[in-house]
Amino acid sequence: MDSMFQENSLSEQPDVRHDWDFDEVIELLNRPLFDLIFTAQGIHRTYFNPNQVQLSTLLNIKTGACSQDCAYCSQSVRFDTGLKPQPLMEREAVVAAAKQAKANGATRFCMGAAWRSPKPKDFDKVLDIVKAVKALGLETCMTLGMLDAEQAQQLKKAGLDYYNHNLDTSAAYYKHIVSTHTYQERLDTLANVRTANLKVCCGGIIGMGESLEDRSALLQTLANLPQHPESVPINQLVRVAGTPLADTKEIDPFDMVRCIAVARILMPASYIRLSAGRAEMSDELQALCFLAGANSIFYGEKLLTTGNQACEPDRQLFNRLGIFSDL
Ligand code: SAM
Ligand code: DTB
Ligand code: SF4
């Protein structure tokens, strides 16, 4: 493979900016779609092999009964979504799932837990899980809720590569989505993760009833972090029955393409992940998202609690598009 494309360490390159204006981002979001995609694809080609997509597989290692009230989430104890709570999984069961993910072709294993933040009684077990998955030769990612500085350092020491903590939406819209923790607390966790030298995975959700201005502010906030997240998941809301957002209006599919293209332009050296929502997307829409600069997906039949596009249709789509993964 061409080594030029391998050198995407986020060592700050001169044209990687952190001073995006709100109006600049709105202007990008509003551009004629083909102009926007053309710009994004040009930037994508400067930083990445445009035919390569990174594969991450998700596993929910602790399910449901979460104290928080995130309006989109199937796992909040406050909503009746019919989800059966499950305690923290045993290490060997997680390792078995990780081995399967690796055999299927994933390079990163992302483990989620329905917690506000990890409790001391579970933390040693979490660290053991990180060590065991890392030992398989997979990249490791966890999303466990808010972390303090000490917890972030312990995860790093155990071999964790990435920590996922999404900003979800704009600071202004956040209060309509979550009341049990603040936007500032999420930013504080991201700072703790960075200080521990973990790679940051941070993005948001489109389709929660937010305005164009909210999308712009989310993308601007992500791009103006002191260092860009190495991985930026752009999720389309999965409308889960029983959650307050179950009946939210469907978004225009091209809005997903626009958000991905703008994320690519603002954070040129980051992996932009076409995340939740693929199960509802046509192959053609997903192809447009890749053209707009998405170069990572969640790969595997399940996200955390909801279905994802299965591996075989993904392999077929990649074949048809001439896309290869890291294998
Ligand atoms: N409890 C931890 C937290 O909230 O940070 C980690 C798990 S949480 C489920 C991880 C992320 O998944 C959320 O921040 C949100 O961005 C995304 N997510 C959860 N439910 C979703 C849904 N129904 N549709 C799209 N994205 C969702
Ligand atoms: C992210 O940005 N999306 C993933 C992962 N990070 C943890 C989660 C998507 C969850 C979709 C709904 C569900 O399956 O519960
Ligand atoms: Fe809990 Fe995370 Fe779901 Fe919020 S998004 S309810 S913190 S599992």
Distance CA(168)–CA(108), nearest Å, equals 22
Nearest Cα residue to atom 23 of ligand 1: 238
Q: Which ligand is nearest to the CA of 110?
A: 2
CB 311 within 8 A of CB 103: no
Active site residue 70: yes
Span 283-300, pLDDT tens digits:
999 999 999 999 999 999
Query: Could you read off the pLDDT of 142-178 as tens digits, one per residue?
Result: 999 999 999 999 999 999 999 999 999 999 999 999 9
Residue 205: strand pairing partners:
235
Cβ–ligand 1 contact at 178 (below 6 Å): no
Q: How far is the CA of 64 from the centre of ligand 1 (A)?
A: 12
What is the pTM for the complete model shown? Answer: 0.94
- Choose the catalytic residue: 201, 202, 259, 289: 201
71 lines ligand 1 (CB under 6 A): no
The tens digit of pLDDT for each residue in 23-64 reads 999 999 999 999 999 999 999 999 999 999 999 999 999 999
Average pLDDT of the residues in 194-222: 98
Cβ(253)–Cβ(202) below 8 Å: no
Which pLDDT score, from 0 to 100, does residue 15 have? Answer: 72
Helix (H) or strand (E) holding 109: strand 108-113
Q: Is the CB of 142 under 6 A from ligand 1?
A: no
Distance CA(309)–CA(305), nearest Å, equals 13
